[in-house]
Amino acid sequence: MINKQCPSVAEAVADIPDGATVMVGGFGASGSPVELLHALIDHGARDLTVINNNTGNGEVGLAALIGNGQVRKMICSFPRSSQSKVFPELYRAGRIELEVVPQGTLAERIRAAGAGIPAFYTPTAVGTVLAEGKESREFDGREYLMERWLKADFALIKCETADPLGNLTFNKTGRNFSPLMCMAATTTIVQATHLVARGNINPEHIVTPGIFVDRVVEVPDPVHEDILIAEGRRYA
């Protein structure tokens, strides 16, 4: 019987090497796989390229990973937030690279990687500085930019419910980029708030089919960045 369950977050991330490209699910604090991120801090892989919509909050989760000097480059759409200090400081000091991608283009590039589409055209960012250096082309009288797929070696994902085949459901807007990242990474590692037996998720309700998932770790009662920040916590 196929069983993708992994006993701990530490074991789940243990083979992420230095230099890896890692997608991290979540939009701000919503859907952020905090326990997996903290396990990656403990594991210590460095020189990472991280793909996420943002750059983390406070000094926990993704922000803590960045603050710990493990991230060489961020690829994201919005590297600011009212509670993010870690990234801006490193960025202004020239100690971390940044590739800014419009949010919809970021999502579509990740999906394209999962779908075997090496490139596509989008109207987004035409006529802006983010179009510089990009191929443009006209279709039916309108200008579009060519964008390439965006793949990763690993994805770190938080879901609501998983089964041992890696079938997943998410909670509300905690879904965001996660189903796309599951498709686009060579190895997809998921922390599930609930792990249920095979057959216990309605096949019509599964959002991410298990074929896109490699490892599942149950993390009941996960912490939430907003709560950690409100409590003044930091991870290091």
Count, residues near its own copies per rule CB under 8 A: 25
Site for other proteins in 125-144 (CB under 8 A): 125-130
What radius of gyration, in Å, describes the C-alpha atoms of the chain? 18
Q: Return the C-alpha torsion angle 70, 23, 212, 203, nearest 10.
A: 120
What's phi and psi for 107, nearest 5 deg? -60, -45
Site for its own copies in 172-231 (CB under 8 A): 172, 202-205, 207
Query: Considering beta carbons, is residue 70 or 188 the nearer one to other proteins?
Result: 188
CB of 215 to other proteins, least distance (A): 13
Please identify which residue in 60, 66, 86, 111 interacts with other proteins, judged by CB under 8 A. 111
Query: Considering beta carbons, is residue 27 or 235 the nearer one to other proteins?
Result: 27
Query: Considering beta carbons, is residue 92 or 205 the nearer one to its own copies?
Result: 205
CB of 218 to other proteins, least distance (A): 17
CB neighbours of 15 closer than 8 A, spacing ≥ 6? 187
Please identify which residue in 17, 19, 123, 127 interacts with its own copies, judged by CB under 8 A. 123
CB of 75 to its own copies, least distance (A): 18
CA angle 158, 160, 161 (to 5 degrees): 115
Q: Are 188 and 16 in contact (CB under 8 A)?
A: no
Query: Considering beta carbons, is residue 73 or 88 the nearer one to other proteins?
Result: 88
Site for other proteins in 37-66 (CB under 8 A): none
Q: Which of 23-31, 42-50, 121-129, 227-235 is the region at the interface with its own copies (rule: CB under 8 A)?
A: 121-129
Buried b / exposed e over 205-214, threshold 16 CB at 10 Å, is ebbbebebbb
Site for its own copies in 19-48 (CB under 8 A): none
From residue 51 to residue 90, the character string flagging contacts with its own copies as x (rule: CB under 8 A) and all else as - is ----------------------------------------
Q: Are 163 and 197 in contact (CB under 8 A)?
A: yes
98 binds other proteins (CB under 8 A): yes
- Distances from the Cα of 136 to the Cα of 20, 100, 151, angstroms: 30, 18, 22
How far apart CA 105 and CA 180 sit, in angstroms, is 12
**Strand 136-139 to strand 142-148: parallel, antiparallel, or no bridges (unpaired)?**
antiparallel
139's contact among its own copies, other proteins, none, with CB below 5 to 8 A by partner kind, is its own copies
